[in-house]
Amino acid sequence: MVLKRAGWPQPDEFAIAVATKVANYGAYVVLPEFGEKEGFIHISEVSSTWVRNIRNHIHEHQRVVVKVLKVDTEKKHIDCSLRRVSAEAKRTKNNEWKRAQKAEKLLELIAKENDMSLDAVYEKIGWPIEDEFGEIYKGLEKASDGDVDVFENVVATKKLRKQVADLAKQRIEIPSVEIDGEMTIIVPGPSGIEVIRKALSDGLTEGKTREKSTTEIYTLGSPRYKLRIVSPDYKEAEDLLSDLLGLITKTVESGSGSISFVRK
């Protein structure tokens, strides 16, 4: 199902829509996030190019991402567009939808465990988590990576906070970002090997200071070395990569050496 708190979408908002009827002049859709409210995509809003056959772009029962153009609550009518949805907006909205589905499945378990309706669980713990973290699933990720203390400021009973945190630990898998690349390090002279060893050792030591990330460095056969970083998010991975390469480069260049890095 996947619920949103708002009863109606806002103009310029991206929403999930499911086609219920496709005609030559446009497509009728329902918006499941907004209580299956009905919307319409005029044929002029189906594609940026000429539409010879509308069913080449949308067909009955197809789930799509639309941009909301106009909302008339009195007439209960929502004008939508397919052509104004960029590839990035489509990717982002679909990812948001999948995360919301995962969050709702966990809330359904909480509802069953407490003999409550799903709507009641949203009101008592789901929306309070959203208030605190901006997204229910983000709050569940925080709980999975920590403990019930992350819900300290969530306005809900201690029992519900603990139930949700415990389930999150069991069922929510924290995503990770991996950076994999190859360093080529050359340090001339008799002390070159020692300089490289120190540079890589310093890099590994720095990597160990990041509790939520892992760093691996190993030889592929001199002068090539593998660098692999796994972090919980893209920013942390990039920051760690920058710090490691900066540290290693400083040591290598102090020994009159050179280093290059190529991502794989």
Question: What is the per-residue pLDDT across 117-153, written as a single tens digit (0 to 9) for each?
Answer: 999 999 999 999 999 999 999 999 989 988 889 999 9
Condensed to tens digits (0 to 9), the pLDDT of residues 72-104 reads: 999 999 999 999 999 999 999 999 999 999 999
Mean pLDDT of 181-209: 94
212 pLDDT more than 90:
no
For tokens 């996947």, the residue is 2
Task: Find the mean pLDDT for residues 107-121.
Answer: 96
Residue 53 clears pLDDT 90, i.e. is over it:
yes
- The contacts of residue 33 (CB under 8 Å, 6+ apart) are 2, 3, 4, 9, 15, 16, 100
What would the two tokens of residue 48 be? 């940026």
Q: What integer pLDDT is reported at residue 233 of this predicted model?
A: 82
**CATH of the domain spanning 88-171:** 1.10.150.190
Instruction: Indicate the pairing of strand 77-81 with strand 37-42.
Output: parallel
User: What gap in Å lies between CA 62 and CA 114, rounded to an integer?
Assistant: 35
Pick the CATH number of 14-84 from 3.30.559.10, 3.30.450.40, 1.10.3720.10, 2.40.50.140: 2.40.50.140
Two tokens at 260? 């290059």
Structural fold of domain 177-263 = Alpha-Beta Plaits (3.30.70)
Residue 32, classed as helix, strand or coil, is helix
As a whole number of angstroms, the distance between CA 176 and CA 76 comes to 42
Give the Cβ contact number of residue 72 at 10 Å. 10
